[in-house]
Structure 1
Amino acid sequence: MPQITVDYSERLADGFDRPAFARDLHTAVVEIAAAKPPACKTRFRHTEDVVVGPDTDGHALVHVHIGLLPGRTDDTKARLTETVLELLRRYVKAEQGVTLHASAEIRDLDASYRKFEE
């Protein structure tokens, strides 16, 4: 915990500083949501096809999912979500003429969540 997944349009690959984003995101999760630094795990998944409304061109998407163990207040989750959006503004640069659609969601991990490390 936390489990962080970042889905992003393939066309953002060159304009998205993923290592720096993850580093600063982990710092924010520790400061805002009281996570432990070694527990922060982020995976990035690029998507090839993006359609926004009727358009198949001119758009790029990035969405950050953060799963936390239950117990954080709605205010804490909202503060973390706003911080994620600020970090996306800093670390994602869409090419000229491309509209960037950025979003984030903080959710509680299900009670069935388990993990192990070896």
Structure 2
Amino acid sequence: MPHLTLEYSANLSLDPAAGLAALNRCLADSGLFEEADIKSRALALDIFCVGTAATPRAFAHAKLSLMPGRSMDTRKQLADSLLAALSPLVQAAPGTELQLCVELFEIDRASYAKESRRV
């Protein structure tokens, strides 16, 4: 734990490997997680829609799933830190409206199973 999913519209210029590395560093630097427990993935979305206007638009949305028990202040700090780390990674074409957001989810501990092993 935690699991981070970065979804972004494919009309953005973003190096997903470098982006995930930066976001993982952000989470590790928080001191809240063991470095090896941070798992992330990036999904470029070829089919997407932002609003209804025929205006060039793009987005990146980071979703962080973590175990419950952290205060609202801690979760807000995580969200703000991830947004600050995400912002310089994303480039859009001139004239494009760009939205960046971070959302945190608490996982139900009772229904979460995990196995770790070294092979």
Same fold (TM over 0.5): yes
Counterpart for residue 5 of structure 1: 5
| 1:45-86 Cα shifts (integer Å, max 9, x gaps) | 111222222125501111000011112111111011111111
Kindly indicate whether the alpha-carbon contact (under 8 Å) linking 2:20 and 2:42 is maintained by their aligned counterparts in 1: no
Counterpart for residue 82 of structure 1: 80
Q: How many residues align?
A: 116
For residues 82 and 54 of structure 2, the distance between their equivalents in structure 1, rounded to whole angstroms, comes to 26
Question: Is 1:68–2:66 an aligned residue pair?
Answer: yes
Which amino acid counterpart does residue 68 of structure 2 have in structure 1?
Answer: P
Distance verdict in 2 for CA 1:50–1:56, change over 3 Å = farther
Distance verdict in 2 for CA 1:56–1:40, change over 3 Å = farther
Kindly indicate whether the alpha-carbon contact (under 8 Å) linking 1:33 and 1:72 is maintained by their aligned counterparts in 2: no
User: Offset of 1:105 from its aligned partner?
Assistant: 0.7
The residue matched to 1:78 in structure 2 has which SS?
helix
The residue matched to 2:11 in structure 1 has which SS?
helix
For residues 33 and 54 of structure 1, the distance between their equivalents in structure 2, rounded to whole angstroms, comes to 41
Which amino acid counterpart does residue 112 of structure 2 have in structure 1?
Answer: Y
Misfit runs of 4+, over 4 Å: none
Counterpart for residue 27 of structure 1: 25
For residues 27 and 38 of structure 1, the distance between their equivalents in structure 2, rounded to whole angstroms, comes to 11
Counterpart for residue 113 of structure 2: 114
Which amino acid counterpart does residue 11 of structure 1 have in structure 2?
Answer: N
Given the two structures, how large is their TM-score scaled by the length of structure 2?
0.87
Given the two structures, how large is their TM-score scaled by the length of structure 1?
0.87
RMSD: 1.6
The residue matched to 1:103 in structure 2 has which SS?
strand
Q: Which runs of 5+ in 2 are unaligned?
A: none
Counterpart for residue 59 of structure 1: 57
Distance verdict in 2 for CA 1:49–1:56, change over 3 Å = farther
Percent identity, please: 28
Question: Which structure has more helix as a fraction of its residues?
Answer: 1
